[in-house]
């Protein structure tokens, strides 16, 4: 969907459709700035959509990075208030295994309390009662306020809020250059990544929120940001092994967090430096799979015989100090750069570093700087105003009606209940007026026809990968084996082009296979073989796709 009017002059153009960019667009729009958000692919196509979905309490960083720990616990509590439909309050455990140093637990608890994190030592037997999946050999356990958060829902909710406050949004538009007058940037030159068409949008200020890709965006303006890509690999298991987040109580290391999320559990992450020219093609190695599985079994032994659905990797946007281009002093903190001060380039700022957990704070910092540079006044209210889907006050009419209407409902069709869980109070906009609307398209994630129609009409869905990110279609046990074909049938009606939809279907199946191939043994291998037979042997999809159609497969 293109909400943009090419003749509009904007106060700010936000570049990057991850959580930070979406959050920044929301904050800017809420403070009255005329805002355009641009993203070269789809929302959450980068690091935002490739993490473990942990609602950090900050405890993981308490010993090594007090500032980050304090930021995390504050944002943790804020997100529980403003993003209720994106958050699951699972609670968290930090466990000590026999091979770990039990003395570290005391240092850990003291550091947590100093950062404002409620950390409580409990008897290991109590930990096993709280979370039966945990390794019974543990010798120590600490309770912390960790949880799970859906980064896809969170980001889209911020985009919806930005649009509700007047922002324009352009997906599948890549910044290929900047317009400038002297030492001031005055606009961006955009290329539609689907059609190749180019046009220019103008603004008083450009905000670079491209994450690790922000390095290249800055280079278009002749600016160098010392970014160092750090790959993190993860594994997704076929069902919820645990219901409480389990962490190793030690300094951060590979494969020391097991996070439950929706219908699955994730183990992660690894950390390895990768060349910058590889960040668009992240692939997990067999060695990383081995490490994740080997270390994961130590946390929860049942992982040894639990089916692995897929492996995937994301890239952390680490930033080195300007006075240390070698990268020896890499920070994981928030970095907000005024390029007028740093580089003599007016009309341009960069917000990067940080974590998913601190996206809202990063957006606040960036918007504060934007307001100062534009000479405008307006306080940040993003920590108080709930996101769409979590609003409860009467000023939002239909959402409030939904809450009251279903307060006394005994039961709902499974697809309707799943949609309510995913979209919160916004699910009141989903129409279930017929048996067709209630029909389930994706059994694994209980995605209905009505929910898919809603996503197409209201959440900027133009292909199956967009649809997966909005509804979880294809993210369950079968990895799109049957539901992808059904959903493609609904997309044909929306985009009115059968050939394009068939190529999209092929691209989607290839994207699913990319994550499955490294863990293809047992049931996953059987599933992959059946999927190949179904889509290649029966449907002939492999003969339809063109290389240029396989885009945005992150």
Per-residue pLDDT of the chain (554 residues; tens, 9 = 90+): 444 445 789 999 999 999 999 999 999 999 999 999 999 999 999 999 999 999 999 999 999 999 999 999 999 999 999 999 999 999 999 999 999 999 999 999 999 999 999 999 999 999 999 999 999 999 999 999 999 999 999 999 999 999 999 999 999 999 999 999 999 999 999 999 999 999 999 999 999 999 999 999 999 999 999 888 889 999 999 999 999 999 999 988 899 999 999 889 999 899 888 888 888 888 899 999 999 999 999 999 999 999 999 999 999 888 876 655 544 445 568 999 999 999 999 999 999 998 999 999 999 999 999 999 999 999 999 999 999 999 864 433 444 433 333 433 446 677 788 888 899 999 889 998 888 889 999 999 999 999 999 999 999 998 999 999 999 999 988 899 889 999 999 998 887 888 888 889 988 998 898 899 999 988 888 888 888 888 888 777 776 655 444 445 44
Secondary structure (DSSP) of 411-443: ---HHHHHHHHHHGGGGGGS---SHHHH-EEET
**Which is it for strands 35-38 and 168-170: parallel, antiparallel or unpaired?**
parallel
Distance CA 340, CA 214 (A): 17
Q: List, in order, residues 6 or more apart from 502 with CB less than 8 Å away.
A: 488, 541, 544
Give the per-residue pLDDT at 407: 38
Give the per-residue pLDDT at 327: 45
Residue entry with tokens 């863990």: 519
DSSP letter at 346 equals B
Cα dist. 451→160, 294, 471 in Å?
A: 16, 39, 8
State the SS3 of 514-531: HHHHHHCCCHHHHHHHHH
Q: List, in order, residues 6 or more apart from 525 with CB less than 8 Å away.
A: none
Question: What are 525-530's contacts with CB under 8 Å, separation 24+?
Answer: 527/477, 527/478, 527/479, 527/481, 530/481
Distance CA 373, CA 345 (A): 13
Burial of 172 per CB tally in 10 Å (0-12, 13-18, 19+): buried
**Which is it for strands 245-248 and 447-448: parallel, antiparallel or unpaired?**
unpaired
Distance CA 182, CA 184 (A): 6
Give the per-residue pLDDT at 316: 87
Give the per-residue pLDDT at 551: 45
Distance CA 247, CA 141 (A): 10
How far from chain centre, in Å, is Cα 484?
21
Distance CA 157, CA 163 (A): 10
- 142 with 130: CB under 8 angstroms? no
**If phi over 0 gives left and psi between -120 and 50 gives alpha, with beta otherwise, what is residue 12?**
beta
Distance CA 56, CA 96 (A): 19
Angle between the N-to-C axes of helices 449-458 and 414-423, in degrees from 0 to 180, rounded to the nearest 10? 30
SS3 at position 267: strand
Give the number of C-alpha atoms closer than 13 A to the C-alpha of residue 172, restricted to the C-beta side.
18
Distance CA 425, CA 246 (A): 30
- Please tell me the pTM assigned to this model: 0.91
Give the per-residue pLDDT at 492: 87
**Which has the closest alpha carbon to 158: 281, 44, 306?**
44
- 397 with 60: CB under 8 angstroms? no
Distance CA 68, CA 350 (A): 19
Distance CA 18, CA 251 (A): 28
Q: List, in order, residues 6 or more apart from 93 with CB less than 8 Å away.
A: 127, 130, 131, 134, 141, 142, 143, 144, 244, 245, 246, 247
């Amino acid at each position: 969907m293109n909400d943009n009017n090419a003749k509009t002059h904007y106060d700010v153009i936000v570049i990057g459709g991850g959580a930070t960019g979406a959050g920044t667009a929301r904050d800017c729009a809420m403070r009255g700035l005329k805002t355009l958000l641009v993203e070269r692919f789809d929302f959450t196509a980068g690091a935002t959509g490739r993490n473990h979905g942990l609602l950090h309490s900050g405890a993981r960083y308490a010993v090594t990075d007090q500032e980050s720990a304090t930021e995390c616990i504050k944002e943790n509590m804020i997100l529980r208030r403003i993003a209720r439909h994106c958050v699951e309050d699972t609670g968290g455990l930090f466990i000590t295994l026999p091979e770990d140093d039990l003395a570290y637990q005391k240092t850990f608890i003291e550091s947590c309390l100093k950062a404002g994190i409620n950390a409580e030592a409990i008897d290991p037997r109590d930990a096993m009662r709280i979370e039966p999946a945990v390794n019974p050999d543990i010798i120590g356990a600490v309770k912390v306020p960790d949880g799970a958060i859906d980064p896809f829902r969170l980001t889209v909710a911020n985009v919806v809020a930005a649009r509700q406050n007047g922002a324009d949004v352009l997906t599948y538009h890549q910044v290929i250059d900047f317009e400038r007058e002297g030492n001031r940037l005055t606009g961006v030159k955009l290329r539609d990544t689907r059609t190749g068409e180019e046009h220019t949008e103008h603004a008083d200020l450009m905000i670079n929120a491209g994450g690790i890709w922000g390095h290249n965006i800055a280079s278009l303006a002749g600016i160098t940001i010392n970014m160092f890509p750090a790959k993190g690999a993860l594994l997704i298991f076929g069902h919820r092994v645990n219901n409480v987040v389990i962490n190793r109580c030690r300094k951060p290391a590979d494969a020391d967090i097991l996070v439950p999320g929706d219908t699955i559990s994730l183990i992660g992450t690894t950390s390895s430096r990768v060349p910058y020219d590889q960040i668009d093609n992240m692939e997990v190695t067999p060695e990383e799979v081995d490490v994740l599985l080997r270390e994961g079994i130590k946390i929860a032994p049942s992982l040894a015989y639990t089916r692995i659905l897929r492996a995937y990797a994301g890239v952390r946007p680490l930033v080195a100090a300007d006075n240390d281009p070698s990268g020896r002093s890499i920070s994981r903190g928030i970095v907000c750069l005024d390029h007028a001060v740093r580089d003599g380039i007016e009309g341009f700022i960069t917000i990067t570093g940080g974590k998913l957990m601190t996206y809202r704070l990063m957006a606040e910092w960036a918007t504060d700087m934007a307001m100062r540079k534009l000479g405008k006044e307006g306080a940040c209210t993003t920590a108080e105003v709930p996101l769409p889907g979590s609003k409860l006050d009467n000023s939002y009419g239909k959402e409030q009606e939904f809450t009251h209407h279903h307060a006394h409902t005994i039961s709902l069709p499974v697809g309707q209940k799943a949609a309510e869980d995913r979209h919160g109070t916004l699910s009141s906009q989903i129409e279930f007026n017929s048996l067709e609307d209630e029909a389930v398209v994706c059994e694994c994630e209980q995605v209905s026809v009505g929910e898919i129609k809603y996503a197409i009409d209201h959440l900027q869905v133009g292909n199956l990968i967009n649809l997966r990110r909005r509804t979880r279609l294809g993210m369950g046990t079968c990895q799109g084996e049957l539901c992808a074909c059904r959903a493609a049938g609904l997309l044909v009606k929306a985009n009115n082009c059968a050939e394009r939809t068939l190529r999209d279907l092929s691209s989607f199946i290839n994207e699913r296979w990319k994550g499955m191939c490294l863990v293809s043994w047992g049931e996953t291998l059987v599933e992959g073989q059946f999927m190949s037979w179904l889509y290649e042997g029966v449907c002939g999809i492999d003969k339809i796709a063109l290389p240029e159609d396989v885009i945005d497969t992150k």
